[in-house]
Chain A
Amino acid sequence: MTGTGTGTELLAISGVTKAYPGVVANSDVSFSISEGEVHALLGENGAGKSTLVKMIYGLVKPDAGSMRFRGADYAPAEPRAARAAGVAMVFQHFSLFEALNVAENVALGMENPPPMRELASRIKAVSEEYGLPLDPGRMVGDLSAGERQRVEIIRCLLQDPKLLIMDEPTSVLTPQEVEILFKTLRQLSSEGTAILYISHKLEEIRALCDEATILRRGKVVATCTPRERSAREMAELMVGATLTPPARAAQEKGAVALEVAGLSVASPIPFGTSLKDVSFAVRKGEVLGIAGVAGNGQDELLLALSGELRCSAGAVRIDGVPMGDQGPNARRAAGLVAAPEERLGHAAAPDMSLVENALLSGAVRKGLVKGGFIDWAAAGEFAAGIVRDFDVRTPGTHVAARALSGGNLQKFVVGRELSQAPSVIVINQPTWGVDAAAAAAIRQAILDRAAGGAAVVVISQDLDELLEIADRFAALNEGRLTAPRPVEGLTIDEIGLMMGGAHGMEVAHHGH
């Protein structure tokens, strides 16, 4: 499984530069990949990884610099040209069609797809050969995240790519599913296919990749052989600073602040997952981490806890008071604040200013509305306080939420909820799309609130994050919650099983 390249150069990038108004996404980037090599591209959000691979895939044209692929000049005008040359890409988001079936999705990613019946049998054959079994007739909307990714990979493999680009492929997988994926990638690499692998997950990169190129602010700052470096060293190369893990004080837990008992509720989301008999309790000062692969009921759980989705009164108790049939404002008044995953459109109204957004959620607990009139001065102060305390980079509190970068808006949204002196905090994906330094700050703020006596529920797909901040750990799997277990002594394998193992995908790879 060494999979090291044959030494024949496959792709060479030299001096590639791409600027957008106001930002230089890539500046003079050069590196090369050999046939059969697994090459990691590392960097924080906004380091320019995505722009770089989009250029290789023909979605974006470089301003300067050149690329060579298989010994010839390479400048794909569109993805079609890139695919014809032998470059395939597995996307992180936005590339599957939920209402179409597997075969149709695959056909859309191919240049000259065979007739549907023939394509379906080829999908079956190739997917079994690589240990990723798939049913071509199923609707993609009904598939698990891991199975969806298989659709994308099979779509690529059917075109015999020389270079396979994978953008954050494991962010939606359980540890067992990651193992299956890695086996497939190693098999591909041994057959001579080069893989360009983008990820934040440094341990995975150490396990899989032969070489790594590290980007920071659009420039190549280092190259290394991941096996020979520690994850921490690579993280510091990415950030360009020394990282300090969040600190937490051991302390006594208080009384139960949030109790959920037998919560079952139908999902209001198309293709969503209904919650089935979810029960847990969180004490004051305690952080409960809830893991799970995306789409296993996380969004529904947040809706049910925040009050957007009502249930029977006794199913949700805040400080012992039945609140299940109450809406978000009543629950806020009772001390529960919630920050959903989707920043634009759910946590924040995109076209409203930061002050207005602060007011929308903070009105109840901060007393920003008096006798039906808005106290704009107090709302402005509240918003300015959030910006100051959580280091939100913005020209002012008058700008629209839409204008903030994802990470900054996340800091604002989380900060807004944490600044309301809550007794119960529910957050879904607190550091999604946030760079390492800001993520550390957000986690520290959450731990500080817990230390101050708040009960915290963190729903996240980032296992490292949960293990870092949670006291107890539970996993959502198809709408059911496992019994919470103390984080201490929990192994990655056990976590994987709690998350549903390989979702019945164990059949994979027995032939290899």
Chain B
Amino acid sequence: MDIGGINPAILIASLMVASVPIILAAIGELVVEKAGVLNLGVEGMMIMGAICGFATAVGTGNPYLGFVGGAAGAMALALVFGFLTQFLLANQVATGLALTLFGLGLSSMIGQGYVGIKPPATQKLELGPLADIPFFGTILFEHDWMVYMSIAIIAAVWAVLKYTRTGLILRAVGESHDAAHALGYKVRRIRMLAVLFGGAMSGLGGAYISLIRVPQWTDGITAGAGWIALAIVVFASWKPWRVLLGAYLFGGITVLQLNLQAAGARIPVEYLSMSPYLITILVLVIMSSGKGKAALNAPAALGQNFHASR
């Protein structure tokens, strides 16, 4: 049942793996933006997560601790961002861009001793007979635990935002910080926590790349995944389940172009490798041309600094 030398079951299974880092980073950024903060430093936080996770896993020999280390490393960077923007009221766009550059540089420095090492392997989850179901078994039940975890996180974020008071307060802060402040909510604290959560998710996503997807360390290993994650948040209109959709769409194109390359398609490799990015741009253009519908869904206080003097 191969089509043009590509097996669809394996293609779908591998797109699910390919999209995990983007899902994690995007769902983290979604929470950050829902709180009204625009953190463009996702790429920097991801790559810090990648190297810190890699270093921790190699140092301890435990891949699970590696993910914890990755989340912690990215959170440290997020803490810097949060402090600069929430307490020193630095411009969020400039700070976020600086954070990316800083993260890329710092990760490259930390990573010098780790090039060419193999990290401890993460086992696939043994789901026994489920994995033997034809077609669907390959797609759904032959993955590592992070694949399921990322989907569980999406579900959790969706439920928290929709059904809990915590979620309501978070959305309120992102909608109008002045109103939230007038009602007595601690805008800075809430935004700080959201930024840290975003950092942790980016870190997990980065660690997934260096520990499972690739798995090794090279400079710039995230290769723009953070930017894609940012775009997917907009593509998803700030809705958690659509993040999953967007990430699979993008992951699918990435995997498809790799498979096409392997299958010897007659299109030049350069065009294939740029295709995911081109399609992201295209989708964003189509989304935002729809008479401000996407813009209406955006948190109203997105990117605005809050100063409590009023």
Contact with B along A266-287 (1 / 0, CB 8 A): 0000100000000000000000
Contact with A along B176-189 (1 / 0, CB 8 A): 10111011110000
B300 at the interface (CB under 8 A from A): yes
Decide: A108 and B169 in contact? CB cutoff 8 A.
yes
Residues A108 and B172 in contact in the complex (CB < 8 Å), given A98-B300, A99-B300 = yes
Chain B: interface residue total (CB-CB under 8 A)? 20
Contact with A along B158-200 (1 / 0, CB 8 A): 0000000100110110011011101111000000000000000
A505 at the interface (CB under 8 A from B): no
A79: B residues at CB distance < 8 A: 182-184
Roughly how many angstroms separate A142 CA and B172 CA in the complex, as a whole number? Answer: 17
A94: B residues at CB distance < 8 A: 176, 178-179, 182, 310
Decide: A100 and B183 in contact? CB cutoff 8 A.
no
B94: A residues at CB distance < 8 A: none
**B263-310 interface with A by 8 A CB criterion:** 292, 295-296, 299-300, 310
Number of residue pairs A-B, CB distance < 8 angstroms? 53
Roughly how many angstroms separate A260 CA and B163 CA in the complex, as a whole number? Answer: 50
Roughly how many angstroms separate A80 CA and B179 CA in the complex, as a whole number? Answer: 14
Decide: A95 and B184 in contact? CB cutoff 8 A.
no
Roughly how many angstroms separate A91 CA and B310 CA in the complex, as a whole number? Answer: 13
A99: B residues at CB distance < 8 A: 171, 175, 299-300
A194 at the interface (CB under 8 A from B): no
**A81-113 interface with B by 8 A CB criterion:** 83, 91, 93-100, 104, 107-109, 113
A435 at the interface (CB under 8 A from B): no
Roughly how many angstroms separate A270 CA and B185 CA in the complex, as a whole number? Answer: 26
- Contact among A91, A95, A104, A270 for B292, CB-based, below 8 A: A270
Task: Name the distance in Å between B42's Cβ and chain A's nearest Cβ.
Answer: 24
B165: A residues at CB distance < 8 A: 107, 113
B184: A residues at CB distance < 8 A: 58-59, 78-80, 83
B176: A residues at CB distance < 8 A: 94, 96-98
Decide: A98 and B175 in contact? CB cutoff 8 A.
yes
Decide: A96 and B296 in contact? CB cutoff 8 A.
no
Roughly how many angstroms separate A250 CA and B89 CA in the complex, as a whole number? Answer: 55
Decide: B300 and A95 in contact? CB cutoff 8 A.
no
The chain B residue with its CB closest to the CB of A97 is B175
Roughly how many angstroms separate A78 CA and B183 CA in the complex, as a whole number? Answer: 9
Looking at chain A's contact residues, is the secondary structure mostly helix, strand, loop, or mixed? loop
Decide: B172 and A100 in contact? CB cutoff 8 A.
yes
Task: Name the distance in Å between A437's Cβ and chain B's nearest Cβ.
Answer: 25
A100: B residues at CB distance < 8 A: 168, 171-172, 175
Decide: B300 and A108 in contact? CB cutoff 8 A.
no
- Contact among A78, A95, A104, A107 for B179, CB-based, below 8 A: A95
Task: Name the distance in Å between B128's Cβ and chain A's nearest Cβ.
Answer: 40
Decide: B168 and A107 in contact? CB cutoff 8 A.
yes
The chain B residue with its CB closest to the CB of A111 is B184
Decide: A91 and B182 in contact? CB cutoff 8 A.
yes
Roughly how many angstroms separate A32 CA and B124 CA in the complex, as a whole number? Answer: 72
Roughly how many angstroms separate A93 CA and B310 CA in the complex, as a whole number? Answer: 11
Roughly how many angstroms separate A363 CA and B182 CA in the complex, as a whole number? Answer: 41
Roughly how many angstroms separate A98 CA and B175 CA in the complex, as a whole number? Answer: 8
Roughly how many angstroms separate A59 CA and B309 CA in the complex, as a whole number? Answer: 10
Roughly how many angstroms separate A84 CA and B184 CA in the complex, as a whole number? Answer: 12
Decide: A95 and B172 in contact? CB cutoff 8 A.
no
Contact with A along B218-257 (1 / 0, CB 8 A): 0000000000000000000000000000000000000000
B296: A residues at CB distance < 8 A: 270
Roughly how many angstroms separate A80 CA and B295 CA in the complex, as a whole number? Answer: 33
B185: A residues at CB distance < 8 A: 108
Roughly how many angstroms separate A79 CA and B184 CA in the complex, as a whole number? Answer: 5
Roughly how many angstroms separate A59 CA and B185 CA in the complex, as a whole number? Answer: 11
The chain A residue with its CB closest to the CB of B295 is A270
Roughly how many angstroms separate A58 CA and B165 CA in the complex, as a whole number? Answer: 22
Task: Name the distance in Å between A137's Cβ and chain B's nearest Cβ.
Answer: 15
- Contact among A59, A113, A270 for B182, CB-based, below 8 A: A59
Roughly how many angstroms separate A136 CA and B175 CA in the complex, as a whole number? Answer: 19
Task: Name the distance in Å between B173's Cβ and chain A's nearest Cβ.
Answer: 9
Most buried by A among B172, B178, B310: B172
- Contact among A95, A98, A104, A270 for B183, CB-based, below 8 A: A95
The chain B residue with its CB closest to the CB of A89 is B182
Residues A108 and B168 in contact in the complex (CB < 8 Å), given A98-B300, A99-B175, A100-B175 = yes
The chain B residue with its CB closest to the CB of A59 is B182
The chain A residue with its CB closest to the CB of B177 is A94
Roughly how many angstroms separate A91 CA and B176 CA in the complex, as a whole number? Answer: 14
A109: B residues at CB distance < 8 A: 183
B310: A residues at CB distance < 8 A: 94
A91: B residues at CB distance < 8 A: 182
Roughly how many angstroms separate A125 CA and B33 CA in the complex, as a whole number? Answer: 36
Roughly how many angstroms separate A91 CA and B185 CA in the complex, as a whole number? Answer: 15
Task: Name the distance in Å between B253's Cβ and chain A's nearest Cβ.
Answer: 32
Contact with B along A53-96 (1 / 0, CB 8 A): 00000110000000000000000001110010000000101111
The chain A residue with its CB closest to the CB of B301 is A97
Roughly how many angstroms separate A21 CA and B178 CA in the complex, as a whole number? Answer: 22
Roughly how many angstroms separate A432 CA and B3 CA in the complex, as a whole number? Answer: 69
Most buried by A among B178, B184, B295, B300: B184
Roughly how many angstroms separate A104 CA and B184 CA in the complex, as a whole number? Answer: 16
Decide: A108 and B183 in contact? CB cutoff 8 A.
yes
Roughly how many angstroms separate A430 CA and B292 CA in the complex, as a whole number? Answer: 31
Task: Name the distance in Å between A22's Cβ and chain B's nearest Cβ.
Answer: 13
Binding site for B on A (CB under 8 A): 58-59, 78-80, 83, 91, 93-100, 104, 107-109, 113, 270
Can you show 29 pairs from A to B with CB atoms below 8 A apart?
Answer: A59-B182, A79-B182, A79-B184, A91-B182, A93-B178, A94-B176, A94-B178, A94-B179, A95-B179, A95-B183, A96-B179, A97-B176, A97-B179, A98-B175, A98-B300, A99-B171, A99-B175, A99-B299, A100-B168, A100-B172, A100-B175, A104-B172, A107-B168, A108-B168, A108-B169, A108-B180, A108-B185, A113-B165, A270-B292
| Pairs of residues from A and B, 10 with the lowest C-beta to C-beta distance, nearest first | A79-B184, A94-B178, A97-B175, A95-B179, A94-B179, A95-B182, A80-B184, A78-B184, A108-B172, A97-B172
